[in-house]
Each structure stands twice: as structure tokens, then as C-alpha cells.
Structure 1
Amino acid sequence: METLETNGTTPTPRLRDPDFYAGYTRFQIELEFVQSLSNPLYIQHLALNKYLDDPAFIAYLAYLEYFRRPEYLRFLLYPGPTLRALELLQQEHFRKDAVTPALIEAMAREGFEAATSGTTGI
């Protein structure tokens, strides 16, 4: 796909960088998404909207496991809850139960307790 670049007066076509999306790199988008998994309400949103039933989405979650590697782990703001959520989302029974308010409430409570006790939750 081509985009137009203005160099003063005349637009000139240039090829779009495949790793650059709306001003962000693919890594930045994936980082933001994987960090959002630390929020139990977001996981519930994904479950309620049937994303967790989509095999392609489950494969994408497995792909995001690269964030466990030290060179990527250092970018996570909340590594404990983020990686735990990624791990849980690999389990089919968790994906099915993610619509349950009691489970989401328990996850939120555990996260709050871990955040206020000084532990990382890993």
C-alpha cells in the first residue's frame, strides 16, 4: 500500500513500512495490548465479545509469549500480572470461565492485594 508524503508543494508516493502502523511500531502495539491483559476487566471484555473463542486470537496470545524473554520482559510495567494472564489465557477452562463475574472479581482483588503488599504476583 502506498501513502502520500508531502515535500513542500507536490505529494510524492512512498511505500508504507510494514512494521509501522498509524505512527506506532508493531512492537509498541503488541506491548500495549499485552500489558492490557493485566486488567481482569479487559480479559472479561475479551471473553464477553467472543475473542477468546477464536483460534486465531488464541494463536496470537501464544505468539505474545515472547514477552517472557528478558530482552522484552524489561518493557512490561506490570510483569507479574501480565505474564500470569498470558499463562492463564492459554488454558481453555480459564478462557471459558473468564465471563464469570466472581472469577474476575477474585482476580482484581488478588491483583490489588499484591500491589498493596509489595509483592509482584509472579
Structure 2
Amino acid sequence: MESGPMSVDSAALDPPPEPENGANEPKHGGHSRFELELEFVQSLANPQYLNYLASRKFLANPSFVAYLDYLQYWTRPPYLKYLTFPTATLKMLELLQQEKFRQDIISPDLAQALIMEGMKTAVEWHREG
């Protein structure tokens, strides 16, 4: 089994301290748990990455699904403010809570449709702004 989020029972952990509160937090490869989880949760906004995770059976692994549930803390303050693309990140995190979506995202066509939908939304947002 690969190392990473699945190798830890993250559902039993508390969210990591915010950067300004975690100065003494242990480092993993030079990065804090906060930084690693922030980078990972933001990567979930990429439909191609979700397709990759599905094709490698991560999204069918109960431990990984529990980790995705644990990551729900990013939907609330104070963690929410650290997301670079909160709309896309939170929407995908929400969809990943659904077993059907975790199964369906293995389709490259669905991943591409989500990419196109995201681009369309961005264009519309810029036109309104």
C-alpha cells in the first residue's frame, strides 16, 4: 500500500493548528501538517486529479474516504480563509462525500465536463466583474 493520507487514521485527529499557532508543530519533509493538508485539499479541485485517484482505487478505499470526511474541517473558519480557490475546492470536497460521485469520477468524460464547467463559470464571473 502507498504511503500518504491513507496510512494515518486521520479521522481520529484534530485539525492541525493554523500556521501562526503551529510554530512548534512537527515537520514532514520540511512542511507542517497544516501545509500538507492545505495543499492536498486544494488539489481536490482538479477533476483530472480526482480521476487519477479513482483510477488508482483510492476513492474506493474506506480509510481514504474517512480521510476525505476528516478534511471537512476546511469548510469552516478559521481554515476556510486559507483556500486559494474556495468555491471549486469546497464543491469537490462536498461531491467526494457521495459514493456515486467517487465511482463516477473514474470517467474521463466526467472529469473533462467538470473542467469545462469550471472554465465556463470563470469566464462568466469575469464578464460580470
Q: Which TM class, normalised by the smaller chain length?
A: 0.7 to 0.9
2:68 is aligned to 61
**Aligned letter for 1:113?**
K
1:30 is aligned to 37
Runs of 4+ with >2 A deviation: none
1:40-59 map, 5 Å: 40-59=47-66
Aligned residues: 103
> Matches of 2:42 and 2:125 in 1, distance apart?
19
Q: Greater share of strand residues, 1 or 2?
A: 1
Task: Decide whether the 8 Å contact of 2:25 with 2:32 is kept in 1.
Answer: no
Q: Using CA pairs below 8 Å that are at least 6 residues apart, which structure has the higher relative contact order?
A: 2
Q: 2:82 aligns with which of 75, 84, 98?
A: 75
Unpaired runs of 5+ in structure 1?
Answer: 1-16
Which SS does the other structure have where 1:70 is aligned?
coil
Q: TM-score, normalised by structure 1?
A: 0.80
Q: CA deviation at 1:43?
A: 0.3
Task: Say yes or no: does 1:21 pair with 2:28.
Answer: yes
1:97 is aligned to 104
Deviations 1:49-79 (A, max 9, x none): 0000100000000000000112101100010
Q: CA deviation at 1:111?
A: 0.7
1:5 is aligned to none
> Between the two proteins, what is the percent identity of the paired residues?
49
Question: Cα RMSD between the aligned structures?
Answer: 1.4
**Aligned letter for 1:76?**
L
Q: 1:84 aligns with which of 84, 87, 91?
A: 91
Unpaired runs of 5+ in structure 2?
Answer: 1-23
Which SS does the other structure have where 1:41 is aligned?
helix
Q: Greater share of helix residues, 1 or 2?
A: 2
Rg (Cα) greater in structure: 1
> Matches of 2:77 and 2:124 in 1, distance apart?
25
Deviations 1:18-56 (A, max 9, x none): 732111000100000000011000000000000001000
